[in-house]
Amino acid sequence: MPTCLVLGAGGYIGVHLTAALASAGHRVRALGRSLEAGPDVIRADVLDETALRDAMAGVDVVYHLVHSMTGADFAATDQKIAVAVAAAAAEAGVRQVVYLGGPRPTDGPMSAHLASRAQVGDVFLAARTPALVLQASMIIGAGSASFELLAKAARGGPVLPNPSYMSNRSRPIAIRDVLHYLVEAAEREPVNSVADIAGPDTVTYLDLVQRCARIAGLPKRLAVPVALPPAVVAAVTPEPLVRSLVESLQHDLVPAEVLPPPPGGATSVDRALREALGVPTPEGPPIDSPDLLRDHKTTRVRATRDRLWQVITDIGGSSGWHTVPGAWSLRGALDHLVGGVGLHRGRPTHLNSGDTVDSWSVVERSDATTELVLRTDMRLPGRAWLSLRATDSDRPGESGLEQTTWFEPYGLAGKLYWYAQKPAHDVVFGFMGSGIARTAESGTG
């Protein structure tokens, strides 16, 4: 196993990476100004020549996670640090430098923050030691500066200022996926190249704030257009790091090509937000509860099971719910009025456990049993779940749709609610079954 040195090990990424490398079986050495000195832990400034030289002795892979971000000349400082690290790595015979930088937008002049990141990457690429420059936009994880800025905006109140730059797009990436790529870099042959890493979902900054609010259990924010360039916001922002992040919002940060996803697939925006917010993955219905109410419907579908399953897993968002037009929108509006999440129109590209789709959370998605289980997040006098399952049929080219709803009532009020809404429930879910079947049979959607 290679010996790894993490520079900037006291920062957000550095702390997580040091633990991830050790967990993967690598010997890890850490250097940072805020660290407590100890075995394989060096408390020093990266510009301390002696400390840097000693830290690199016998090291195979160096991770550069240092970003000064303070002072008017932070870009010059970052470049000076990169030059010193590159020289020390070459002298020590390091086989690979790994640098985590930011994207390089092409839609206009780069912000000072992103330009500095690109400049540091270029220093390493031009040096004698092979360098892998990984480029990521927003990293979602508890404690990440960009995530904390996002969460603050989501929790800021029912009204959300919506400058034009909020329509710019990004492909945020979960901290767990960033760590996968960083750890993987220690186990591969040395390369000298630039590679973008990103999550699976392309979202606008406005959508990102709305999703964060949604997963936190907050109503959809009322977006009010305002003429507020990011440079103006940055000018009145005291924190240098936050100011730099705000300046970067002026860009579309959607890479054309990214590295292949981690094993098991990339982490969706919704799941990353859920983990960062500390919101637990939703639980399924308590099947053994004597109070649990159940309704079951079956629909014959003149399409294959695979085709039906595709329609089921595409449900929600722009695809809709294949039911009475306006039914879910009306229900969502009523929920919003009583302080619930309402009908958030959105879903990740690929549904997995922990994701959200409109006013539902995904409890389970099983491709083996072709079953999707959802839990509603609307305010009810109880808890409700919906299962959509594609089944085989004895008839060639056909399949069956099984719809099951469960409701765990909260006392008498919950039971009265269940029976009062049962007629409307039968109509809405009956139309849903027929609509899903028609979409599968038509080959559209």
Q: What interhelical angle do 205-215 and 269-277 show, nearest 10?
A: 50
| pLDDT of 344 over the 90 cut | no
CA 171 to chain centre: 8
Model confidence over 391-405: pLDDT tens digits? 999 999 999 999 999
Q: Which residues contact 283 (CB under 8 A, 6 or more apart)?
A: 363, 375
Strand partners, 62: 5, 97
10 and 71 fall within a common domain: yes
Q: Is residue 7 part of a domain?
A: yes
Residue finishing a domain among 277, 310, 330: 277
Domain endpoint, select from 250, 277, 304: 277
CATH code of 347's domain: 3.30.530.20
Q: Phi/psi at 310 (nearest 5 deg)?
A: -60, -45
Q: What is the number of domains present in the chain?
A: 2
Is 55 among the domain residues? yes
Cα-Cα-Cα-Cα dihedral of 30, 34, 38, 42, to 10°? 50
Per-residue pLDDT, averaged over 91-98, amounts to 98
**pLDDT above 70 as % of the chain:** 95
User: Domain span at residue 336?
Assistant: 293-442
Assess whether 140 and 261 both reside in one domain. yes
Tell me, what's the pLDDT at 230?
64
Do 259 and 319 lie in one domain? The reply is no
Task: Note whether 134 and 27 are same-domain residues.
Answer: yes
pLDDT at 336: 81
The reported pLDDT for the residue numbered 326 is 86
Contact partners, residue 129, CB within 8 Å, separation at least 6: 62, 86, 89, 90, 94, 95, 96, 97
Position 156 in a domain: yes
The verdict on residue 285 lying in a domain is no
pLDDT given at position 346: 79
Mean pLDDT of 418-443: 95
Give the type of residue at 206: L
Residue 286 in any domain: the answer is: no
Last residue of one domain, picked from the residues 243, 277, 311: 277
Q: Model confidence over 154-200: pLDDT tens digits?
A: 999 999 989 888 999 999 999 999 999 999 999 999 999 999 999 99
Residues 383 and 271 in one domain: no
- In-domain check, residue 283: no
Q: Which of 63-77, 292-306, 312-326: highest mean pLDDT?
A: 292-306
206 and 66 together in one domain = yes
Q: Is the same domain home to 335 and 309?
A: yes
Q: Is 63 a member of any domain?
A: yes
Query: For the segment 29-43, what is each residue's pLDDT rounded down to a tens digit?
Result: 999 998 998 899 999
Predicted confidence at residue 330, as pLDDT, reads 87
Mean pLDDT of the chain: 92
291-319 exposure pattern, b = at least 16 Cβ within 10 A, e = fewer: ebbeeeeebebebbbebbbbbbbbbbbee
* Statement: residue 382 has pLDDT above 90: yes
Same-domain pairing of 323 and 352: yes
Confidence of residue 111 (pLDDT cuts 50, 70, 90): confident
> Other CB atoms closer than 10 Å to residue 75's CB: what's the count?
18
pLDDT above 80 for 431: yes
Confidence band (pLDDT; 50, 70, 90) for 333?
confident
Residues 270 and 302 in one domain: no
On whether both 231 and 161 belong to a single domain, the answer is yes
> What's the pLDDT tens digit per position in 227-285?
876 666 655 455 556 666 777 788 889 998 999 999 989 999 999 999 999 999 899 99
Answer whether 66's CB lies under 8 Å from 32's CB: no
Q: Say if residue 311 is in the same domain as residue 269.
A: no
Q: In this structure, are 72 and 209 located in the same domain?
A: yes
For residue 282, being part of any structural domain is answered with no
Q: What percent of the chain is predicted at pLDDT more than 90?
A: 76
The CATH number of whichever domain residue 26 belongs to comes to 3.40.50.720
